[in-house]
A and B are shown apart, each in its own frame.
Chain A
């Protein structure tokens, strides 16, 4: 059986992008309105096409902001502040499409007032005229912080499938970006008497990066919008057979994170060859840091989202902190799991941490003479500092090598690889797959691998050149839409 591998050529591009732009993947790309106290967005519904990573293109209905001419999938991520008066004006430019129909937006969990347009089952709807006179404006107060979804409230069984949905992030009161991460000078010194700074003791220069309250602080945040696609429904809609689309028992053959199927998920945001799929999902952190995992499910099926590397501590569902004391900000009712169900129509937030604690051996090569402060906690007593990997690994002829393997089992180190192997791991990081654990969903139609899959990179403190490695602070790429 011929096996199809991830294209090394394609990934080389990804690696270059990663290398050139540094931590181009960190953060949640999204739109903000810098006006204090309010957030206004204009969203337009258009038809368009996306690429499914196996070469096929899929007809979609999507939303976009005025700074883009093409629809995007998923819908633009909107980032507002708690207490903002949010106003979103929807214009329906499906006119000219064979199955053109009304559409609308719902914001579950918020008390929305809709004006304009015509009455619909869930809310007021915009007719497909592409005329501002038929637009609908949805206004609400973003009265609680969290991760939310917004999506079509019209013909939901078909328009959800077609792509009309995205993420809404409400920053809590008091949230403040860090101007820059406090990355200590953790460079090892030849002189062991020279103390090095504890890399785990981050002292934010400024800022208050929290998802809800003090119990949900994070160093980096990432968004994962989980969707699935049955292309037959899209084709029926494209040719105007809405009755056929509605009667079909949907059966997805594409599975996506942030609108991209693996391995496109590895690419940076806004790569030019995916013009309607602007969001990547490659994830970066360093040992001891906290990653906020914001997950939004907008498909038709449940997806078991598995975080390799460690358990994920779920702290909120549907923007509701799992807390026994409302208002405390402390997620004491959160639960830890290695695979969390993405349930369509739900969101969940989790905090992911990774360190070498409990590994039983030193993840840093003894040869690097690294400081004990690289371990967390550095004062621990399990004696793994300086401990080598307890087994010998097979020889090169016995092995198949992954492209993200550095050649060394140690973090930040490199080893010998056969010609043509590896090469995608610039800093000697540890790569972990984050993916749907219904493995059928790791394919793009009939081609493995792909699907609902991305990677976490636990990066070392030094890059491949021995220089301090800095992942840019989280929550970059916010931009204004108008």
Chain B
């Protein structure tokens, strides 16, 4: 049985196919603006989540950095090596001054091929969790147990190409380093007398810690004590027995306060925060609060980007309107013929409006796909380059709002061309062309 008919949808599709360049450009513009909006909105939420991961189950971070925000950026996200140290005696004073669940000393300053190192205690792996509720996991080997053993973050292992059992020489500061063999004179100040052995590689955590290498605190003290002794003209390889109080320094202290079972927050947080703040020799930061502050600063910038994306969306709506409006001049005869065949003015108005909506909807759907694949690509890049784990999935609420907005704009863009079609004088447009 024959069922084929000519429908409004077919007429619209044929009309779009009749001017492919204009149609595809307009769809592309809508897709780009929708994708841009969705990615920016999604990234803002996802980036926030990713930054929240790094501080894990730490309640307070103590350092000698100039401000709490700098302390968090350096101590949690490895932005720079902290510039001022804290004496070991101060660490002991803080640790013993309150019944903390744990207090973990950290020291930063050395690096390997640009990947930062963190010298710390074994508590860092057993008690600190890089994301709350997600303890460290080893992809290979074990955690360090004694001096001159090194554990690699997942991104650091991948980026450096180091593998289990290999020897590593660290660099003072953030210059280049090298693996086993003779020290490289051009690599900066390499701690060439003290090779570290790779004993473990960590699973990815989705935090900045993935880019770091972890060593025992005493090893780090020995490296720097050796430098001090060399400058003083003392010969011979430095050992733990040569360490003085001057050598025993840290650059950060991770603190966790007592909590009730099943509760991550501590009732003593504010009191202990205020107590530590009275010590002018140190800076104390609540990482969660500082990340909030960071995002308040950044939100102004991403507001501008989102504003720009909205402007692009409006531009694409105007482009849709112009493309359709201009096409009306060439389509007056087609419209007149449809009217003669029995199409009402309203039907013709609807056809043009549908055309605008189809362009916008095609663009919006392409934009969602673009945002999804773009998000996956951006997420992979961010994870590989700076260790940030961004969830590339789109927020359903934002997606619905952006799609709804795009379709509404598309409908609006179609009104003027549709009105022009509505007003086409039928009889005048059926005459033979002059």
Partners in one complex: no
- Report which B residues bind A (CB closer than 8 A): none
Interface residues of A (CB under 8 A from B): none
